[in-house]
Structure 1
């Protein structure tokens, strides 16, 4: 089974647009820059790129065969389907597993998105018959985060037998490496300038 990845599509597209912009600027700095100013500009570019990577490209909720993997900004969490006790949504999706609570960085339900969803549900409820009104109220008031939480709840119920592993939360090596590289660029810029 192919893993299902849930994330903010807007953040993902904007993140990759920034990566293209950063790659072009790195090429320009290498080809045309002089050392002190190019290194300072490269350090600023490196810090922003590291932030874009850890905050826009990396975060995701990945539903796998054996459990759900949550990639947050600096941390990774894995919860097997048999360990999922509850999935709820406040402003973020929250997965509870025993004493461990995992808040998902993405997708999130903003107040604006909730208001738009409630408006869609109210509009559909006014113009429909009773059965359509019930469907509109149940589905129309849901945000993307509510839908993802529902999918995770359904998967946790149906895949309990095929779950594997144990609940664990760890630091992300790729995120820490990106932050360390950005800090190294800043240190180099201070030393050279």
Structure 2
């Protein structure tokens, strides 16, 4: 997961793994679809076009699109098919369990771009337990000892991101520019092409 500057915000949270995986899937579907369009015969090119139209928006929605943008005024959550903008004055809590979520005006919104890794959380907990017991932290893969500079407490990436968002909410909740209403908008630019592609695949399949 990466945190980087953005024009809208001071911090941006995205999953690097999801971005890489999405880019690879898009490249694969483009290659397979292009090959079917060029070499296919009969209905094959039309089916390939419909499949690409259905799959590409879904891949973008679940891998490249999710992000969380946070600044002093509030947070913008870009999930697969909708975008939620919540001023800090409306944010009640930010928490990480088996998934990360934000509660605003009594409604829970998942943070798709901040995935929870139970393995990373477990490693961080073991590291912190060793420090608390006065033991030397383990190195990579539990072998040897850690770097001598790695002597502070650790947090899993998702937990660290949630802690930062909590801190921003607490610090900025009373700001005048943190007032407003929670707004939700839908990503029709992805929903419509995906729906058209699915309908096209079904029509071509049933008419075969």
TM-score range with shorter-chain normalisation? Answer: 0.7 to 0.9
Of 92, 97, 120, which residue of structure 2 is paired with 1:90?
97
Alpha-carbon distance in structure 1 between the residues aligned to 2:172 and 2:130: 36
- Residues 70-116 of structure 1: per-residue CA shift (max 9 Å, x gap): 12222221111221221111122221223222121221213222222
Give the 3 Å change call, closer, same or farther, for CA 120–177 of structure 1 in structure 2.
farther
- Residues 45-92 of structure 1: per-residue CA shift (max 9 Å, x gap): 443333312211122212145311112222221111221221111122
Contact 1:36 1:192 survives alignment (8 Å): no
Partner of 1:106: helix, strand, or coil?
coil
Aligned-pair Cα RMSD in Å: 2.6
Of 120, 124, 134, which residue of structure 2 is paired with 1:117?
124
Contact 2:51 2:198 survives alignment (8 Å): no
Alpha-carbon distance in structure 2 between the residues aligned to 1:182 and 1:65: 40
Residue 13 of structure 1: CA displacement?
Answer: 0.9
Alpha-carbon distance in structure 2 between the residues aligned to 1:123 and 1:35: 65
Residue 152 of structure 1: CA displacement?
Answer: 1.1
1:37 paired with 2:44, answer yes
Question: Which residue of the partner structure matches residue 35 of structure 2?
Answer: 28
Alpha-carbon distance in structure 2 between the residues aligned to 1:165 and 1:26: 45
Listed as ranges, the matches of 1:94-105 within 5 Å are: 94-105=101-112
Alpha-carbon distance in structure 1 between the residues aligned to 2:41 and 2:179: 54
Alpha-carbon distance in structure 1 between the residues aligned to 2:75 and 2:59: 24
Alpha-carbon distance in structure 2 between the residues aligned to 1:31 and 1:109: 42
Give the 3 Å change call, closer, same or farther, for CA 27–41 of structure 1 in structure 2.
closer
Give the 3 Å change call, closer, same or farther, for CA 82–127 of structure 1 in structure 2.
same
Of 176, 190, 197, which residue of structure 2 is paired with 1:175?
190
- TM-score when normalising by structure 2: 0.75
Give the 3 Å change call, closer, same or farther, for CA 35–57 of structure 1 in structure 2.
farther
Gaps of 5+ in 1: none
Question: Which residue of the partner structure matches residue 143 of structure 1?
Answer: 156
- TM-score when normalising by structure 1: 0.80
Higher helix share: 1
Partner of 2:80: helix, strand, or coil?
coil
Gaps of 5+ in 2: 1-5, 138-147
Residue 167 of structure 1: CA displacement?
Answer: 0.9
Question: Which residue of the partner structure matches residue 166 of structure 1?
Answer: 181
Residue 41 of structure 1: CA displacement?
Answer: 3.3
Alpha-carbon distance in structure 1 between the residues aligned to 2:29 and 2:71: 32
Question: Which residue of the partner structure matches residue 9 of structure 1?
Answer: 16
Partner of 2:18: helix, strand, or coil?
helix
The count of corresponding residues between Structure 1 and Structure 2 is 185
